[in-house]
Chains A and B, each alone.
Chain A
């Protein structure tokens, strides 16, 4: 198990879970979100290769209505 944090929420995921796997799990379209991993923006081309590790902190953001 990899114990990580997504958007401030503590979550345990299987070992070897990639960013893509995580997006699939939460039914998120990679073209409609941006991801920050441990305080740094994670480029889209790393979504496949980057596996989630213990203590990773992830922020997933999207566009919502605003002025």
Chain B
């Protein structure tokens, strides 16, 4: 069998699980969860430095960007201008070209604003960024993003932080079928079995934050997700059995006693 390689643009990743670094109790817990999850790419946010607190611990001191690839995001941006400003600054910190674009349209649902997202993807691609795009589960928008040069399509399973699992399997499967770039489920996954389902459907990867960070035991859940993603991927590659409406005995009929 051909080796199963996960590649976004030219970047080869060992794990199909990408994890977020928000919502943990502290940076030590963040680092532990990432380690045990096996993820080699993590999303990070760009924010103002608190100049008054000189001793504040830094994410970079706990999660080494030389070992774990940082994927800067535009979380909290509600328009193209803010998103572009954020990612240009992110690139300046460490030369990162691979970024996660997310432009939100509504504070309550945190639903992506696809008009701004499409507009911004165009600009970022032109500037040489490799853009992983958080988007709705609308196959037409997903196609548009791919045509514009997005490096990965990241449709939501359900609203950010909701933990509801995949709400529209039909749309997600249509996106998987049509996409030539990786499809990574972003947002809405609630527990490990949701990730298995996403991977079995044929997603190339999943991005998890809240489901790990807000679990009662985040470290154990990080490990659960590691295996869920591996399990789901292997199951997808193996190809499931056909469903039958009637029973089919697992033991042979021949040689029954009497």
B224 within 8 A of A: no
Task: Report A-chain residues with C-beta under 8 Å of the C-beta of B65.
Answer: 63
Task: Report A-chain residues with C-beta under 8 Å of the C-beta of B11.
Answer: none
- Evaluate whether A63 and B44 lie within 8 angstroms (CB atoms) in the complex, with A34-B90, A41-B89 already known: yes
A67 contacts B160, CB within 8 Å?
yes
A64 contacts B51, CB within 8 Å?
no
Shortest CB-to-CB span from B83 to chain A, Å, is 14
Shortest CB-to-CB span from B82 to chain A, Å, is 12
Among residues of A, the one whose C-beta sits closest to the C-beta of B52 is: A9
Size category, B interface: 35 or more
**Chain A 8-48 interface mask (CB, 8 Å, partner B; 1/0):** 11000000000000000011100111111000010110000
Size category, A interface: 20 to 34
- Among A7, A62, A65, chain B packs the most CB atoms within 10 A around the CB of A65
A32 contacts B209, CB within 8 Å?
no
Distance of A21 Cα from B90 Cα, bound (Å): 22
Task: Report A-chain residues with C-beta under 8 Å of the C-beta of B48.
Answer: 7-8, 59-61
Interchain CB contact (< 8 A) of A26 among B20, B21, B51, B70: B51
Distance of A44 Cα from B75 Cα, bound (Å): 25
Among residues of A, the one whose C-beta sits closest to the C-beta of B73 is: A66
Q: Which 4 A-B pairs have the closest CB atoms?
A: A66-B45, A67-B20, A67-B209, A34-B92
Give me the interface of B with A, judged by CB distance under 8 Å.
Answer: 20-24, 27, 30, 43-52, 54, 58-60, 65, 70, 72-73, 75, 85, 88-90, 92-94, 160-161, 187, 207, 209-210
